[in-house]
Amino acid sequence: MSQRLTLALDAMGGDQAPDMVIDGAEMARIRFPLVDFLIFGDEAKLRPLIERSRSLAERTTVFHTSDVVRSEDKPSVALRAGRNSSMRLAIDAVRDGKAAGIVSAGNTGALMAMAKLALRTLPGIDRPAIASFFPTERGESCMLDLGANVECDADNLVQFAILGDMFARAVLGIPKPTIGLLNVGSEEMKGHDEVKRAGAILREGKVPVEFHGFIEGDDITAGTVDVIVTDGFTGNVALKTAEGTARLYTNFIRESFKSSILAKLGYLLSRSALRKVRERTDPRRYNGAVFLGLNGIAVKSHGGTDALGFANAIGVANDMAVHGFLDKVRAELAELAEVGLKGATA
Amino acid sequence: MSQRLTLALDAMGGDQAPDMVIDGAEMARIRFPLVDFLIFGDEAKLRPLIERSRSLAERTTVFHTSDVVRSEDKPSVALRAGRNSSMRLAIDAVRDGKAAGIVSAGNTGALMAMAKLALRTLPGIDRPAIASFFPTERGESCMLDLGANVECDADNLVQFAILGDMFARAVLGIPKPTIGLLNVGSEEMKGHDEVKRAGAILREGKVPVEFHGFIEGDDITAGTVDVIVTDGFTGNVALKTAEGTARLYTNFIRESFKSSILAKLGYLLSRSALRKVRERTDPRRYNGAVFLGLNGIAVKSHGGTDALGFANAIGVANDMAVHGFLDKVRAELAELAEVGLKGATA
């Protein structure tokens, strides 16, 4: 028997908040009939939006907050001044066991800082990482870290490999995900010291993941591995470069279809086929980056997304909770600690 | 009056060498009537290929070499054992003033190591960088470093900004190119120490380049700046991620056109328009990465390219030589040294 589940939503984060958040919650309500919501934000603004759907109102508890973390706030400022913000109180609901996870489209740095402080990192994990899925030639892969840690040492990278492995198993359902370490070449001698050292540790075999080896940038979308591990600087640049390149292609193709009457007609005929490409690569479909390595489920939605994108981010939090991701990770990390995780990465 | 120009070609580097190199030289011969070639490689193999075009044979001198740098050779091995290789002797021709530049599709690491040793870096430049052009929403931009230096400090990045500025001015003809430093956000506080320090130096204004500020991965293809400066690790990953994403899109669209009879018909009608997109984004069109910061013109062709791609790499060497790139760079660096380049980057 499936159980009911409660998710906390920060209603005030994101370019189109709070409308987008409430519309996204309404879409998620239909898709996930077992989910209830705790929604944090300006009650006067939220009430009329929520009341538009009686079913949503029935499954929602609103917590009024007047403080908001702004997108330009530094994480340190948000930590100090944002104690009563919608973001912070939504995270606290997870810490206090009132919600199984939190979803926010607000300031990434502030969300990470608050989530780290309130939820703390899992035993054996020094730093949390941001992970997300994206489309590849062979299906879907996940990459981490996408920007939480601009500098990472070999131990961090090995821990990300462990977290990514568990994430892909729990959420993508891949029994033995392959792990690739992003580098500038596939040979062992390639790369800087930390990536070489992480590669050596993972090759040794003490860490129980299926290590493929070093991969290069074009392996990301080729789907060469299920999980791509990298530092937050490189991961962030790679993710955004891929997004930019996708946009460039879409625009070039759109222009070309307008370039002649024949091409316009060709577009009309192939429109529904091209729509499938758009759907397959729709960034909203892959919206919802997960903060891995914390004692709680925290999902960051893209700030510029719409209701559909936000509903998908809620879906990620739902999937993780339903699959018992945290319990599995805790159990695995405890096992690893027994055989000496620190020994493996030291 | 334009003058004749000699370029040295390593005929033995690249997956389809030497055929691809000679066919590329033949294409370049037609495009650049003032260029002569010194071609280094296995004479027995080269002669019959070259003799197929009397015009090419007339403008070519073949230097027989029996040694070849292999794609799997480590740079250190290539340096020691490859003294009589086609690659090395072609570089030496530039060092000895017999050729204005060298083009090779061989082992990148070996080519860089040999070129550094034989040609040496320009005064004021600590390390050479690999630079290349690519298509953007607004035209073309150039990025460096694409993989020569996996770790870079702030001074290296500032020097890359100076080299990239000169390159874009000389070859793209942009009077005052804008320079962006690749980072994980546009705010001054973003990134690791070296990128922050490089940003601070460039913002100060002592280095005479048009500094736009920090840019993110999606700014690369957006064409936000003319020159993207980054370390070789990030640059290499970004370049290959963009290539992979372009391939993913092309494949998705190809598949979608095959998905129904209507879509197939649509493809037939829009084929010539779509061909324009393919031409605009053809990697062969952007083939030819330049080693910037050396006392000589050295161009690296993609190893997997064909004759058209190799001809384009020859075109890059030709453009740089015709525009007097090296003289301009030397003059600018001398000026910078007078006002204290080291002071600016110290």
Whether residue B343 is predicted with pLDDT greater than 50 in this model: the reply is: no
Nearest to B148 by CA among B140, B159, B139: B159
pLDDT tens readout for residues B137-157: 999 999 999 999 999 999 999
Bigger pLDDT: A313 or A338?
Answer: A313
Q: What is the overall mean pLDDT for chain A?
A: 92
Mean predicted confidence (pLDDT) in B200-229: 95
Nearest by CB to A237, from B150, B184, B252: name it: B184
Give the residue ranges of DSSP H helices in A100-231: 108-119, 154-167, 193-204, 217-222
Bigger pLDDT: B331 or B8?
Answer: B8
ipTM of the complex: 0.90
pLDDT tens readout for residues B11-55: 999 999 999 999 999 999 999 999 999 999 999 999 999 999 999
Cα nearest neighbour of A243 on chain B: B218
| Min Cα–Cα distance to chain A from B61, Å | 35
Query: Are B245 and A221 in contact (CB < 8 Å)?
Result: yes
pLDDT tens readout for residues A12-71: 999 999 999 999 999 999 999 999 999 999 999 999 999 999 999 999 999 999 999 998
Which helix H or strand E contains B339, and what residues bound it?
helix B325-339
Q: Which CATH number fits domain B1-124+293-325: 3.20.20.70, 3.20.20.140, 1.10.600.10, 3.40.718.10?
A: 3.40.718.10
Task: Enter the CATH code of domain A1-123+293-324.
Answer: 3.40.718.10
Q: What percent of chain A has pLDDT over 70?
A: 97
Domain A126-286: CATH architecture, name and number where available: 3-Layer(aba) Sandwich (3.40)
| Min Cα–Cα distance to chain B from A66, Å | 27
pLDDT at res. B268 = 86
Q: What is the CA radius of gyration of chain B?
A: 21
Amino acid (one-letter) located at A289: A
Whether A145 contacts A231, CB under 8 Å: yes
Query: Are A270 and B267 in contact (CB < 8 Å)?
Result: yes
What is the distance between the terminal CA atoms of chain A, rounded to a whole angstrom? 43
pLDDT at res. A170 = 83
- CA A245, A248, A252, A258 torsion-angle sign: positive
Tell me if domain B1-124+293-325 and domain B126-285 are identical in fold: yes
User: How do the domains of chain B map onto residue ranges?
Assistant: 1-124+293-325, 126-285
pLDDT tens readout for residues B241-297: 999 999 998 888 888 888 888 888 888 888 888 888 888 888 888 899 999 999 999
pLDDT at res. A306 = 96
Whether residue B328 is predicted with pLDDT greater than 70 in this model: the reply is: yes
> What is the residue whose two structure tokens read 């793209």?
B172
Query: For residues B188 and B35, what is the distance between their CA atoms, to the nearest angstrom?
Result: 47
Query: Are B137 and A248 in contact (CB < 8 Å)?
Result: yes
What class is the B126-285 domain?
Answer: alpha beta
- Cβ-Cβ contacts under 8 Å between A and B: the total is 205
Query: Are A192 and B150 in contact (CB < 8 Å)?
Result: yes
